Amino acid sequence: MEPDNHKVTTCQRISEMLSRVGDKWTLLVIRELGKGPNRFNALQRQIGDISQKMLSSTLRNLERDGFVSRTVTPVTPPAVEYALTELGHDFLPVVCGIATWTADNMGRIESARQQYDARLQIAAE
C-alpha cells in the first residue's frame, strides 16, 4: 500500500518545525522577544550564554520561518531591532505552555529517569 503523500508531507513539516523549536535557543529567543522588540546586543545579554554567531543564526531562521521581523533604522551605526511577528505572537502561548508544563513536571521526569537508571544498573550487575 502506498503511503498517503499528504500525510507524509504533513509529518515531515511537523518534524521540521519540532526540530526548529526544539533547538537550544529558539524558545529562549521567542520568550525574550515576547516581552517586546529588542536589539541584538540586548537580546544576547538577556539570553546569556549564547554566542553572537548562534544568536544571529537563530534570528535568521526565525525570520525565515516568519516568527520574527527585522527592522533596520538608517542611522549611524544602523539600528537593527527584532520583534515577533503576528505568527510569532501566535506561537508565544505554546512556548509559555511548554515552559509551564516542563516546570510543573520536572520532578516527575527526574523521578522517572532515576527509576530507569536504577533498573539499568540492576540489570547490568
The domains found in the chain, sorted by start residue, are 5-124 (1.10.10.10)
pLDDT given for residue 78 in this prediction: 87
Q: How confident is the model at residue 5 (pLDDT cuts 50, 70, 90)?
A: confident
CA-based nearest residue to 26, from 92, 76, 112, 102? 92
Report which secondary-structure segment, H or E, holds 83: strand 79-84
8 or 64, which is more confident? Answer: 64
What's the rounded mean pLDDT across residues 19-48?
93
Coil, helix or strand at residue 25: coil
Coil, helix or strand at residue 49: coil
pLDDT given for residue 2 in this prediction: 52
Coil, helix or strand at residue 77: coil
Please report where in the chains the cell 518545525 appears, as a residue: 17
**Full-model pTM:** 0.79
Instruction: Decide if 35 contacts 82 (C-beta within 8 A).
Output: no
How high is the mean pLDDT of the chain? 91
